[in-house]
Amino acid sequence: MGAPARAHPKLTLQFITTMASEYATSGEYIKHHLQNLTYGKLPAGYERTDHHGNVVEVLPAPTWTVAHNSQEAKDMGFMAFHVDSLGVSLVLGAIFTFFFWLAARRATAGVPAGLQNFVEWVIEFIDDSVRGSFSHVNPLVAPLALTVFMWVFLMNLMDLLPVDWLPWVATLAGVPYLKIVPSTDPNVTFALALSVFFLVLYYSVKMKGPGGFFAELAFQPFPKFLFPVNLLLEGVGLIAKPISLALRLFGNMYAGEMIFILIALMFGGSWVLGLFGGVLQWAWAVFHILIITLQAFIFMTLTIVYLDMAHSEHH
């Protein structure tokens, strides 16, 4: 895929003709779409370069700024923010909150319709899932499950937007990068998973006490005199929960986004490739609807199961 991506406007469904023409190779196009809009701190004396490698600016002092390329984002280190992931996540969370609040405010006792019908269906679905997987009493679990499912679903849903639409608009506004699918960012998926993990730890200690929680880790599944082995095995299993939760969501959504980007490159080839790319794009989008919904459901279900395990006594 090293050949330049050429433009064919009549076949373009994703502004590929505009975006691809700005890059010499397909590889550069892919790297651009996988780069987050990063805000961080660069040290004094840092040499900023253009895409040809020429120095265009030397920072006289430590500076908080937006990274102009992937190398600058890397040099910003750990204390940097993915502005696009954070911004899109917050906007989607606000949209979810607003529409559910609006449905609750306008709820009537009659036969529901429209937004109220959809919200009631979602809440009933979440309630059934909680009843089936959570065997204890905790008023936090159902609202948490609802929030997790809808938020992750909305973040995943952004993957169905054509890969060039919003990034193309962003370039017109002078924004160098824009990733619009937060769940393709491991920082977002790990933040969600770690939030669930901290709740699991909190309720494990609250329900069983510090001693009971430690005993659960140290004295199972082997006899008590093998507690170092038990502690190692159970500790690894405990830590694996948030890691698997985060990587499962990230891996599936990242792979889906990559496929959309590769299909988009086909619009920069001949009209035959463009036509074939349109068919592939439609087929993958239809199949991807199942993936984005399933990943949200799995994340929610595992959250409920992990919290149920935190509330349960093991003997």
β-strand 47-49 against 81-82: which pairing, if any?
A: unpaired
Q: Please report, as a single letter, which amino acid is at residue 186.
A: P
Q: Please report, as a single letter, which amino acid is at residue 251.
A: G
Cβ atoms within 10 Å, residue 116: 17
Q: Are 29 and 20 in contact, with CB atoms under 8 Å apart?
A: yes
Q: Are 152 and 192 in contact, with CB atoms under 8 Å apart?
A: yes
Structure tokens at 175: 């924004």
Q: Are 293 and 153 in contact, with CB atoms under 8 Å apart?
A: yes
Q: From residue 199, give the alpha-carbon distance in Å to each of 4, 111, 153, 193.
A: 49, 37, 21, 10
Catalytic center residues: 244, 248, 252
Structure tokens at 77: 């280190």
What are the percentages of helix, strand and coil residues in the chain, rounded to 5?
70, 5, 25
Cβ atoms within 10 Å, residue 301: 17
* Cα distance between residue 220 and residue 306, in whole Å: 18
